Every structure is written in C-alpha cells, then in structure tokens.
Amino acid sequence: MAATNPQMQEILDAFEELDPKPIETLDPKEARQQPTPADAVERVLEQRGESTDPEPVGSVDNRKIDNADSSMPLVGKNPVRVYTPEGEGPFPILVYYHGGGFVIADLDVYDSSPRALANAAGCVVVSCDYRQAPEDPYPAAHDDAFAAYRWVLDNVEELRGDGTIAIAGESAGGNLACGTTLRARDQGLALPVHQLLVYPIADGDSSKPAFEEHAQAKPLNKPMMEWFSEHYAPDTDDPYFSISNADLTGLPPTTIVNAEIDPLRDDGPLLAERLRAARVEVEHRHYDGVTHEFFGMGAALDVAKEAVSFAAGRLSESFERSKTHA
C-alpha cells in the first residue's frame, strides 16, 4: 500500500470523522447530500485554528447560461461562476469543469480550484455546471460542457477576456474538457490554447491495475466509479467520452495531473501516451502520497499548492505563446 502524505492523511481522517456513507450504496439524491472532501478540508482548518475563508480573488459572479447552443434544442439554463483576478485586464480565460462522476457535486464543492487557478495563472476562470445523471445520462453533461465553451467564445469581451482561452477539468470534468476540445476541433471552432486535465476519466474501462490496487481507496474507489458509470454512461465508446480511444490529432498542448492513491491513476498516463502518439505536446505529472481530489486542497495540503503552481505555469506558457503568435 502506498504511503500517504501526512497532511493528506490528516484530511482523510477528518473525512472519516464526517461519517460519509458509501456512495455506491445510495441513490443519487442521497449521494449528493453526503459530506465531501471539501468539507474535510474545512474541518482540518478548523481543527488547526486556521481560517476557513475561501481564497480571495478580485471578484466572483454567479450567472446562468443556456445549456445548449444554436445547433441543439434548448433544455434550460445551467449555473456558471466567473472568477476574475485582481487587476484591470483584459485577462486570458480558463473554462473549467468540476468533477463528481457526472452524478454528484457542484460549483460549491469545487470552489477552491478555480480560485487558486485564477490567482496563480492570472486568468478569468469560468466554472461551468452541467446536468447530471441518472436524470440526464450521456451525452447531457457533454452537451452542456460544449455549450458552455461556445458561450465563452461568444462572450469574451464581456468576461474581460483578451481572446486567449484554455480549458480545464478535474476527474469527470477532465473528461468533459477533452471531449469539448475534440468536439470544437470537429466542428471547426477556435480551439483552446491549452488543456489542463486533472486525474481525468480517460474511458469507461475499470480493468486497469490502479482500479484493483486502490479498489477501496478514499475518497474515490472502484465501486464508486462503477456506480458513476452505471448512471451516466454504462456502455459507450463515443470518442467524446472514451477520449483515450479518440482521434487526438490537432489538439492543443496538454497538462495531465495524477494522484498516486487513486483508481484513476492509470487513466492519465494512458491518455498522455495516446496524445503523444498523435503528436500533441504533453506534460504529465504524478504526485505520490496523495489521493483523488487532492488538487483543490491547497488550503490544507502543501503538495496541492505545488500541483496548482505547476499547472498554472503550464497554462501561463500557453497563454503567452498564443499572444506572441497572434
């Protein structure tokens, strides 16, 4: 068994104290009410006597946007949260999708990563919500993610953007981000200048070694992943979901972040290998001793700050390169 980073273990212990029920034993509505890793971080900060206030940014604006573009039937509206850093701008823009296995979580659960990235990369972050399964199975979340990307393309000036756009996501959100980039390429839209994929779901295959090695890991394990898959996409080889099996040619530079103690540990390297085979520039970084969801835990976990700094540096390089070539 991999050795757990002491700060990571402190967070995992706090998570257990919150008594989360096994997600795979619940119905989705019950699952959405369970304690989250973000709650565990807050508990650790309280136990340490440290502030639980969110990382400050210049401004935060909650909005709702159409969850379909002109090519798709309008279903309704989805929340987006726009994080703008301090300064006059205009700024690069990062379109961000949260995790949750396409079934649980929301913009509040994944509030810390967009704040950290907005500050570290000096960019506007548009965090996009989407419909969830089983009420709305595949491809609802992917349609919503693509519609949100289209909305950002159409509203750059209003968002105080400089016309440079990147894309990012964690876990299920990493799948949405790459699927959106593929769809933008196939429809001839402007591509993001960079993809940041944090422990992305590369496909629906749970037979990889990490799924067995970390079958009972927390906060994500193999039964949970199979539960998520059953609800959202039990059997699809659509390339916008099974991204590791898609034609990946023409995609922008990509950064992939993975955690050691995570059933999705092997998805990132697999996707990196397929991207490199398609001649896409990729940097993959693996962090030992940490679990799924570590990336947004910078308030209590030093290695998360390192990962955010690395990711932000990669984003900034692509932002600057894009401006130079504009």
Contact 65, 151 (CB under 8 A): yes
List active site positions: 171, 262, 292
Residue 134 neighbours by CB distance under 10 Å? 12
Rounded Cα–Cα distance for residues 34 and 26 (Å): 10
Fold of the 56-325 domain: Rossmann fold (3.40.50)
Q: How far is CA 79 from CA 282, 296, 302, in A?
A: 31, 20, 30
Q: What is the mean pLDDT of the chain?
A: 96
Amino acid letter, 316 = S
Encode pLDDT of 72-90 as tens digits.
555 689 999 999 999 999 9
Instruction: Give residue limits of the domains in the chain.
Output: 56-325
The rounded Cα 238 to chain-centroid distance in angstroms is 20
Looking at residues 106-121, what average pLDDT do you find? 98
Q: What is the dihedral of CA 117, 276, 142, 31, to 10 degrees?
A: -70
Encode pLDDT of 128-177 as tens digits.
999 999 999 999 999 999 999 999 999 999 999 999 999 999 999 999 99
Q: Regarding beta strands 77-84 and 59-66, do their DSSP bridges make them parallel or antiparallel, or are they unpaired?
A: antiparallel
Question: pTM score, two decimals?
Answer: 0.97
N-term to C-term CA, the chain: 49
Tell me which residue of 79, 66, 11 sits closest to 219, measured CA to CA: 11
Looking at residues 14-21, what average pLDDT do you find? 98
